[in-house]
Structure 1
Amino acid sequence: MGGPVLALSCQRSIGVANPVRYLAATLLVLLLATSSASAQAQQDGERPPPAVVVQPIPVEEVANPEQFNGRVEAIETVDIRARVQGFLRAVDFTDGQSVKQGDTLFEIEPDEFQAAVASAQAQVARAEASRGSAERTLTRNRELFAQKTVSQSALDQAQAAFEIAVADVQVAQAALRTAMLNLSYTRITAPISGRIGKPAFTQGNLVGPESGVLARIVSLDPIRVAFSITEGFLVTLRQKAAQQIELDPSELDFSLRLANGTDYVQPGRLDYVENEVDPQTGTVTTRLTFPNPNRILMPGQFVTLNVREKNAPRLPVVPQSAVLQDREGRYVYLLNDDDTVSQRRIETGARVGAGWAVTKGLSGGEQVVVQGVQRLADGMKVQPSQQQAVGQ
């Protein structure tokens, strides 16, 4: 009988004393579960939007320049030589001096040539005297022949003597001109304006036609730059010609970059384009003329030639860091007024600095995301901050 009574007593104890404790434990468990669910919901649903950097899209002139390697050439180069033989009496210039056309460069001793001129002048006078005597003899013989006092043979001889005398005068005059010409060669002058180099002979040396080059003059202003058009650029020009698009040289801007990295300030002008393609290189030789008043350009110097259009189009330029690409092409993310981003498909053209020229899809002035683009999606909310545009 004791066992059932004890069991009943235990059941009553549990049913009366433990319900309060059980209820408290249950409420604590529910409270903890609710707090955990609320925290998880807040973490999942209220995550802060990503931070991005944006900048306005500038509109710039897109020239798309072509670069070529060029070499500076003198338009005119003259080697000075002696035409007559003699001793140098004077050298009338210094090394590297700028000379003008007609300036005296060398003087050869003229005494011998002056004597030759005097001798030739005497020969001319003698020949003219002989011609005068022959002319008078011919006149008398003609009168006597008319009177039939001399024969035809005598008249013919007088006529021949006169003609020989006339020829002798011409020979003497030619010898005089030669002697005077040789005398003029004793004073060697500059045939062109330019800069002269070092003289090969100094005063007192014997020079002549076999002595070689006495000095060299090169013209420096203006000066020429020669370069070769690449095959690809040549094809472009030919395609424009085939489409009846005439290439106007005045619409192109030619500029030089010097060996020290600086730009040459004087603009160039298209001078000559070779009419044949080099079969070994596939290029065409082209020459430009540049003013060179300060003698910065020197023959033999290597330069970089930039060729660009003067009236180049103005296009939006987007930074390279903002451009993404997938199978459909390139695109960017633009910032909207409500701090959301939208995807915009674009077509790009030439490279401009650290960016791309945009030919389709943008008009300029839009706010484009330049940092943080990898984690974006169309319509996503963002936290934007500004950055300066390319080139500013």
Structure 2
Amino acid sequence: MNISRETSGQHCSVEKRMTRHVCTCLMIVCLAAAATPCIGSIAFAQQAGARQGLPPPAVVIEQIKVQEVSSPAQFTARVEAIEAVDIRARVTGFLHSVDFKDGQTVKVGDTLFEIEPDQLDALVTSARAQVARAEATRGSAERTLTRNRDLFARRTVSQAALDEVQAAFDVAAADVQVAEAALHTAELNLAYARVTAPISGTIGRATFTTGNLVGPDSGSLARIVSLDTVRVAFAVTEGLLVTIRQQEADGSNIDPNKLKLSLRLANGTDYDAPGRLEFVENEIDPQTGTVAARAVFPNPRHILLPGQFVTLYVQRKDAPSLPVVPQTAVLQDSEGRFVYLLGKNNVVSQRRIDTGARVGNGWAVNTGLNGGEQVVVQGIQRLAEGMTVQPSEGQPVGGGT
């Protein structure tokens, strides 16, 4: 009996020691697993997957492009017409014809309206008759003056008589000038019966139709707007103006020819022609704290219309060119930002980068990339240094402003 109890006690002691050993082993395994970094786990998982015949993780890559990098100033601007004319009648009469279609392109000298010329033509005829009458009167007075001068030389007429004849001649000569001026006015009014285009451009709708009585008080008959070249008006903030003035004071003048001006339209598309800075006002508006400025843009297809709102971007033409990396490719840790580059045999490696300005959907890279490298833009969360991946091409990063 005593032997049995001793044997039983020994078995119990052995089992307790084995249990403590197993527990200690499990604790060591758990601590080791907790101390293993995530990257090691990912690499371990990849190795395990490779032993099991699993394919490498699929990623999307993109080639780094080198682009012009700048921070353009952005303004809300409004399109204005450089030339615009309201067509008005200069004489009174019934509208005889309208010689254009609404929205038509016209050139300088094209006939737009015709006012009935009959009455005006009659006034011209009457004015010519008055000129002829005045000239006849002047001729008669001139002959009378010549005779009286001869008689005065013979002492046949008095000085008073000669002076009276001289005055009559002067009045007749003045009457000729008055008649000629009246004839010129009548001829101008007759010419004004034909209303022509003073500028080239696009004409709007006619506000009067044939048969209406029009005159100087009728208001605008139509409006012509020149659209081949337009002006874009915007306001420069006081702070930006001060910066420009400081640069001028330091001797580094801002040359308008070195500025790149571009437009973005209301539908989100970029205008395809660059502009140039035309004018900057020399006074600050005390109510808004801004300075009026104007730029000029070519508009051969008449996409820009007066009154239209656009977004104006102003930047320097000599902007530096830097590699641009997509934002989706950039990761960050305690040491800074980095990307995964695709190397030989589809093996990825980390590359530390120093990013600069935003460029569209990407970052300009000051150091770390040269352009032409292939970076991972999708599937980046599963990667670790030295992993083998299965790459596919992605879309290039948008570099538009």
Q: 2:294: which partner in 1?
A: 287
Q: Does 1:391 align with 2:397?
A: yes
Q: 2:117: which partner in 1?
A: 110
Q: 2:183: which partner in 1?
A: 176
Of 272, 278, 284, which aligns to 2:279? 272
**In the TM superposition, what is the alpha-carbon distance from 1:110 to its structure 2 partner?**
0.8
C-alpha change, 1:315 and 1:243, in structure 2 (3 Å) is: farther
C-alpha change, 1:314 and 1:108, in structure 2 (3 Å) is: same
Paired with 2:148 and 2:358, the residues of 1 have a C-alpha distance of 99
C-alpha change, 1:282 and 1:324, in structure 2 (3 Å) is: farther
Q: 1:188: which partner in 2?
A: 195
Paired with 2:41 and 2:107, the residues of 1 have a C-alpha distance of 77
**In the TM superposition, what is the alpha-carbon distance from 1:115 to its structure 2 partner?**
0.9
Paired with 2:381 and 2:103, the residues of 1 have a C-alpha distance of 64
Higher mean C-alpha deviation, range 181-190 or range 281-290: 281-290
Q: 2:267: which partner in 1?
A: 260
**CA offsets, 1:151-194, max 9 Å, x none?**
21122112211111111111010111111111111111111111
Give the 5 Å matches for 1:206-225: 206-225=213-232
> Match of 2:387, as an amino acid?
Q
C-alpha change, 1:259 and 1:310, in structure 2 (3 Å) is: same
Q: 2:160: which partner in 1?
A: 153
Paired with 1:244 and 1:59, the residues of 2 have a C-alpha distance of 32
**In the TM superposition, what is the alpha-carbon distance from 1:55 to its structure 2 partner?**
7.4
Q: 1:3: which partner in 2?
A: none
Query: 5+ unaligned residues in a row in structure 2: which ranges?
Result: 44-56
Of 337, 346, 357, which aligns to 1:350? 357
C-alpha change, 1:335 and 1:113, in structure 2 (3 Å) is: closer
**In the TM superposition, what is the alpha-carbon distance from 1:50 to its structure 2 partner?**
4.7
Q: 2:247: which partner in 1?
A: 240
Task: Classify the secondary structure of the residue corresponding to 2:217.
Answer: helix
**CA offsets, 1:113-157, max 9 Å, x none?**
111111111111111111111112222222222222222112211
Paired with 1:381 and 1:113, the residues of 2 have a C-alpha distance of 95
Paired with 2:102 and 2:385, the residues of 1 have a C-alpha distance of 76
> Match of 2:152, as an amino acid?
F
**CA offsets, 1:360-382, max 9 Å, x none?**
56655678787899999xxx965
If you compute each CA radius of gyration, which structure gives the higher value, 1 or 2? 1
Paired with 2:216 and 2:116, the residues of 1 have a C-alpha distance of 15
Query: CA RMSD for the aligned pairs?
Result: 4.0
Paired with 2:121 and 2:339, the residues of 1 have a C-alpha distance of 91
Q: 1:324: which partner in 2?
A: 332
> Match of 2:156, as an amino acid?
T
Query: 5+ unaligned residues in a row in structure 1: which ranges?
Result: 1-5
**In the TM superposition, what is the alpha-carbon distance from 1:330 to its structure 2 partner?**
4.9
8 Å contact from structure 1 (residues 354, 390) kept in 2: no
8 Å contact from structure 1 (residues 332, 369) kept in 2: no
Of 56, 72, 75, which aligns to 2:79? 72
C-alpha change, 1:147 and 1:73, in structure 2 (3 Å) is: same
8 Å contact from structure 2 (residues 341, 351) kept in 1: no
**In the TM superposition, what is the alpha-carbon distance from 1:253 to its structure 2 partner?**
2.1
